[in-house]
Amino acid sequence: MNLFKLLLLLFITVTLSFADGKDLAKSLKLDPSSKAIKQWEKIFESGEKMGKMGIDKLSDADKAELKKYLTSHAADSDHPAAAGI
């Protein structure tokens, strides 16, 4: 069973490393408009908070891409992901 989990994690990590910010957010079930820009920035400053969301498993490049997407489509951004905000 542990081998299966390890292989699954490896597959997800490799798959996510080729995704853009929107795909990464979707795969981690993160809605950019659920938080303000400052809240997303605080999450990326905390290893514990990133761990709770699964962000800590991503490569540095993917983390940067995800952060860029989440903050640029946050609830208080110029282009929020949710309509009407």
pLDDT digits (tens, 9 = 90+) for 37-81: 999 999 999 999 999 999 999 999 999 999 999 999 999 998 888
Domain membership of residue 84 (yes or no) is no
> What confidence score (pLDDT) does residue 10 get?
67
- Looking at the domain assignment, is residue 85 inside a domain? no
Q: How many domains does the chain have?
A: 1
Structural domain including 52 reads 2-72
Q: Of how many residues is the chain composed?
A: 85
- Using the CB atoms, write b or e for 13-39: b if 16+ within 10 Å: eeebeebebebbbeebebebbebebee
